[in-house]
Structures are given as structure tokens and as C-alpha cells.
Amino acid sequence: MAATFFHQLVAGLNGLGIDVPSFGSSRIFGKLPSTRLFFNSSHHKLHPVLASISHASAVDPTSSHSISHDSSTESTLILIRHGESMWNEKNLFTGCCDVPLTKRGVEEAIEAGKRISYIPVDLIFTSGLIRAKMTAMLAMTQHQEKKVPIIVHNESEQATLWSGVYSEKTTKQSIPVITTWQLNERMYGDLQGLNKKETAEKYGKEQVHEWRRSYDISPPNGESLEMCSRRAVAYFKDFIEPHLESGKHVMVAAHANSLRSIIMYLDRLTSQEKQVTSLELSTGVPLLYIYKEGKFSSRGSPVGPTEAGVYAYTQNLAIYRQQLDEMSH
């Protein structure tokens, strides 16, 4: 009976452990940013932060505190634009400048965490900018699994070694966070640091609107949405989507334009469609997608952790929530 119950659960839901094929399986690790994320050459083993992913038998599948993996069911993708930054507050063009969150931005990130607190998360990707990393970290403080997000440092072999976690128990209670510049906000070139209102007064509202909302026109010495889309979508397809295919549940914390680019891909929008340039993403508001059989289905924004509608999207998410509730008692 227990085996039947767990067989119904969504792909990759892992409760207190991860039950997947061993490291080296192309089904899960066919495409990764760097092998240094997982392999410590000094000790000839996986990066300790991600070591639990390789333990196929880390958790007894018949245990009442474990959730099994069935790759035939769906996985979840959460997209979150960072909370309000200090330059958002000042109405400045931010782009790739590395600016932290405001107090309001911190509160938005925490509120986003409450909205997704019962949605499973196995792996987190963020941009390389502090506002996105802060948002992901703060959101996870609200998650019902109480796992700790740990940024994976793969800048060098020494960084990988020094950031190692050598407790199997602690590793199982951790979520890897992979940061990458490809998910950064688009680079606004000569506009970065300028006040948006003053810039519109200087160059004209129509010109500034064209720089900000057109698909293939870039601001002076900056990126267009098309240029941002090329790097963000390529990264998503190569390094994030394979995890969803394997049954992992992924959260991406990034920016208005890098997320707009990914949503174009998920919703199969063309550059000519008005939704692309008119799509507004509020700070700190999560968006939920379900991945099943190679297709993404938008489920909008979870409205809150106690709302039944959040879990009506898929029966498996409701089962997952029930399982977490039972583990907490």
C-alpha cells in the first residue's frame, strides 16, 4: 500500500532525501555548467553540497518519511523576479549593476517564499547578481521542508574544496544553488545608473520606451531583449531543462528581461507577438509552470500557502503537501 502511494507522487519529490541514478548518468547530468559543481578532484568525489544527488539508495523508499521518484509524472518550475532593489526604489536603470534589495524587497522575497512554501524545490538557479540571490535565499526561509539553500562555488578547485560540506545528514537537508551570469538582467549600457524619468525627458518618452520594450533595439552600448534572450534561453535549455526532464523541481530567481526571455520560450511566443514586449513581471511575485512530457503549462502565480487553488493544478502537489504536513507532526 505504501509503495502504491509513493508511486503516485510527482517526479523527483524527495522529502528528506533524493533517490536518483548515480553521478555520471547522462539522464540527469548530461549537460551541466561545469563538472566542478559536482566533482572534487582533490578527493575524487562529488562536490559535497550535491553529493546526496548521487546516492540512489540514500533513503529507504518504503519509509513513511521518504518520497519516491517517478520520471513519468510532472515536475515543477518556479520563476521569481527579484524583490525591489535599491535602484528600483530610486527609479534608476539598473541592468547588470549589482544592487541589493530594499526593506520592501526583502519583505517581497519572504512573501514569495510563503506562496511557494508547499511546492517542492530540489535545485535553485539564480543570476550572478545579489538581488536575485537574496530573493532566492530569503524565499527558502519560508519553505516547509526547512532545507538550507547553499550556493555552489565552482570558481576554482580550491573554492569547491573550501566550500565543501562533509556531513551526509547536512547535505540531505541542503538545496544546491547555482549562480550564473547568463541569467543576469540585460545590460542597459549607457543608461545604467541614470534616472528613468530624467532620461525620458532628455531623449523623449517614445525613444526610452523603444529602448526598454522593443525586442531587437538596444540602448546605447547595451543589450536588446533579443540579445538577452539568446544567452538566457540557451542556458535554460542546456542546463535547467534537463533537470526538469529528469524529474527535478527547479526554482529560478532572476530578472525582468531574463525571465521575460524564458517565458517567451516556455509559452512559445514569437518576437512579433505583443505579449512579449508588454509582459510585466512584478518584483517578488512567483510564477508556476508544470513540466510534463516535454511541455510546459503555465499555472499563474500561487496566491498563498493556505489556498487550495495552488494545489489544484496537479493532484501530485496536493499529495506532496499532505506528506509534508504528516512529517511535521
pLDDT for 129-183, tens place per residue? 999 999 999 999 999 999 999 999 988 999 999 999 999 999 999 999 999 999 9
In the three-class reduction of DSSP (H, G, I as helix; E, B as strand; rest coil), residue 40 is classed as strand
Q: Is 0.85 surpassed by the pTM of this model?
A: no
Q: Nearest 5°: phi and psi at 104?
A: -60, -40
185 labelled catalytic:
yes
Residue 22 clears pLDDT 90, i.e. is over it: no
Residue 21 clears pLDDT 60, i.e. is over it: no
Instruction: Supply the pLDDT for residue 286.
Output: 95
268 is in an annotated binding site: no
State how far the Cα of 106 lies from the Cα of 310, in Å rounded to an integer: 23
> Average model confidence (pLDDT) for the chain?
78
Average pLDDT over residues 52-59: 35
Q: Please, what is the Cα angle at 107 between 251 and 318, to 5 degrees?
A: 45
Residue 295 clears pLDDT 50, i.e. is over it: yes
Share of the chain above pLDDT 70, in %: 68
State how far the Cα of 76 lies from the Cα of 79, in Å rounded to an integer: 10
Signed CA dihedral, 57, 61, 64, 68: sign only: positive
Angle formed by the axes of helices 130-140 and 103-115, nearest 10° = 50
Whether the CB-CB separation of 266 and 292 falls below 8 Å is answered with: no
95 is in an annotated binding site: yes
Residue 106: pLDDT band by 50, 70, 90 thresholds? very high
Whether the CB-CB separation of 141 and 110 falls below 8 Å is answered with: yes
Instruction: Supply the pLDDT for residue 135.
Output: 98
Place of cell 538582467: 185
Instruction: Supply the pLDDT for residue 216.
Output: 92
231 is in an annotated binding site: no
Q: Which of 32 and 101 is assigned the larger pLDDT? A: 101
Instruction: Supply the pLDDT for residue 318.
Output: 52
Average pLDDT over residues 69-92: 88
Residues sharing a CB contact under 8 Å with residue 293, sequence separation 6 or more, in sequence order: none
Q: Which residue of the set 47, 55, 69, 82 is catalytic?
A: 82
Q: Which of 285 and 280 is assigned the larger pLDDT? A: 285
- For residue 56, count other CB atoms closer than 10 A to its CB: 14
Residue-level length of the chain: 329
188 is in an annotated binding site: yes
In the three-class reduction of DSSP (H, G, I as helix; E, B as strand; rest coil), residue 296 is classed as strand
State how far the Cα of 195 lies from the Cα of 295, in Å rounded to an integer: 40
State how far the Cα of 226 lies from the Cα of 257, in Å rounded to an integer: 10
Residues sharing a CB contact under 8 Å with residue 312, sequence separation 6 or more, in sequence order: 318
Q: Which residue of the set 74, 185, 223, 241 is catalytic?
A: 185
DSSP result, 73-134: S-EEEEEEEPPPBHHHHTTB--TT----B-HHHHHHHHHHHHHTTTS--SEEEEESSHHHHH
187 is in an annotated binding site: yes
30 is in an annotated binding site: no
Domain map (residue ranges) of the chain: 39-310
Residue 321 clears pLDDT 90, i.e. is over it: no
DSSP 59: S
DSSP result, 152-185: ---SSHHHHHHT----HHHHHTEEEEEEEGGGSP
- What CATH number was assigned to the domain covering residues 39-310? 3.40.50.1240
Q: Which of 302 and 85 is assigned the larger pLDDT? A: 85
Residues sharing a CB contact under 8 Å with residue 60, sequence separation 6 or more, in sequence order: 66
Average pLDDT over residues 297-323: 59
Q: Which of 116 and 326 is assigned the larger pLDDT? A: 116
Instruction: Supply the pLDDT for residue 213.
Output: 87
Instruction: Supply the pLDDT for residue 302.
Output: 81
65 labelled catalytic:
no
